[in-house]
Amino acid sequence: MQLGVSMWHDTQMNLAIAVADRIDRLNTAVGRTVAWLALAVVLLQFALVVARYAFSLGSIWLSETVIYMHATLFMLAAAWTLRLGGHVRVDIFYAEASPRTRAIVDLLGSLILLLPFAAVLFWLSAPYAARSWAILERSQEASGLPLVFVLKTVIPVFAVLMALQGVAQAIRAWALLLIPPPLAGEGGARSAPGGGSR
């Protein structure tokens, strides 16, 4: 009976880790795709500066394009950055903490801070974006981009991607915490749920 429960538990955990893997792959694909916007922003901004100061030319829609690309890059690559641990951590103990302590911090951070934040942001931004779509909102500038509704849609998409990455982070932290800590004098790594070792 106990063996059956253990096998069921391992199956469920492997399933959860498979979900986390899929989330990681999704956010990695999105992040790597929008990362190319960084190059586009630099090149376009350079062209705008040269046009303005060398030829006294300006373009509102090109300037707004830079803003749109910049916002899209940072909003849609944020979850990928979280996956890679690239966000700034303001702490004095995380870097030196044990893997289990880090897992606890990651789990609580996801459940108490990240997921509620993402839920509230989606709740507030989805109607905001929907209203913009209803009128196909455009720039207030006559020659600006007629795509404000698309830009505003990035906000709830950001919330969804961050929430998904928070779920993946919580799953991996929980999986690590389920591994019994090594006994005193015990060497070697234990097998982690879902394969591999920790």
pLDDT band at 1 (very low <50, low <70, confident <90, very high): low
Mean pLDDT to the nearest integer, 114-137: 97
Half-sphere exposure of 114 (CA within 13 A, CB side): 24
Mean pLDDT to the nearest integer, 110-114: 96
Lowest mean pLDDT among 39-43, 52-56, 147-151, 160-164: 52-56
| Position 177, amino acid | L
Give the pLDDT confidence score for residue 196 in this predicted structure. Answer: 47
Residue 192 in this model has a pLDDT that exceeds 60: no
Q: Where in the sequence is the domain holding 49, given as residue range(s)? A: 2-177
- Residue 198 inside a domain? The answer is no
- Residue 153 inside a domain? The answer is yes
- Residue 118 inside a domain? The answer is yes
Give the pLDDT confidence score for residue 193 in this predicted structure. Answer: 47
Structurally, the chain folds into a number of domains equal to 1
How many angstroms separate the CA atoms of 106 and 193, rounded? 17
Give the pLDDT confidence score for residue 6 in this predicted structure. Answer: 62
Residue of 64 and 85 predicted with greater confidence: 64
Mean pLDDT to the nearest integer, 191-197: 46
- Residue 101 inside a domain? The answer is yes
- Residue 84 inside a domain? The answer is yes
Give the pLDDT confidence score for residue 4 in this predicted structure. Answer: 54
Residue 109 has a CB neighbour count (10 Å cut-off) of 17
Give the pLDDT confidence score for residue 3 in this predicted structure. Answer: 54
Give the pLDDT confidence score for residue 190 in this predicted structure. Answer: 47
Q: Which residues pair with 197 in a beta bridge?
A: 191
Angle at CA 11, nearest 5°, toward 13 and 102? 15
Mean pLDDT to the nearest integer, 65-82: 96
Residue 195 in this model has a pLDDT that exceeds 70: no
Is 141:64 a contact under the CB 8 Å cutoff?
A: yes
Residue 189 in this model has a pLDDT that exceeds 50: no
Angle at CA 23, nearest 5°, toward 17 and 26? 145
- Residue 38 inside a domain? The answer is yes
Give the pLDDT confidence score for residue 92 in this predicted structure. Answer: 72
- Residue 184 inside a domain? The answer is no
- Residue 188 inside a domain? The answer is no
pLDDT band at 197 (very low <50, low <70, confident <90, very high): very low
Mean pLDDT to the nearest integer, 126-154: 94
- The tokens describing 6, both together, are 């253990």
**3-class DSSP state of 64:** helix
How many angstroms separate the CA atoms of 124 and 141, rounded? 26
